[in-house]
Amino acid sequence: MDTEMINIDGMMCGHCKANVEKSIGDVAGVIEVKVDLEAKKATVTLDPSATNLDEIKAAVKDAGYKVVV
């Protein structure tokens, strides 16, 4: 199990936070996701044999938000 932190730009409210959490949570292999709206960060616990950071980033982009590296 890996824990990754990503910075996300474009989240303005609790709805955005919920959107991002759902998008990341729907990725197969994601075990847990927590989004901190004020810090603009997501903490993702994932199974590295099932997914990877690129897939998480793609899910965030697909939801309409920007991953800041």
Quick check: 5 and 60 in contact, CB under 8 A? no
Q: Which is nearer to Cu ion, 8 or 46 (CB)?
A: 8
Instruction: Give the shortest CB-66-to-Cu ion separation in angstroms.
Output: 14
Quick check: 3 and 43 in contact, CB under 8 A? yes
Q: Which is nearer to Cu ion, 13 or 28 (CB)?
A: 13
Measured distance CA(21)–CA(17) in Å, rounded: 6
Give the footprint of Cu ion on residues 4-23 (CB under 5 A): 12-13, 15-16
Binding site for Cu ion (CB under 5 A): 12-13, 15-16
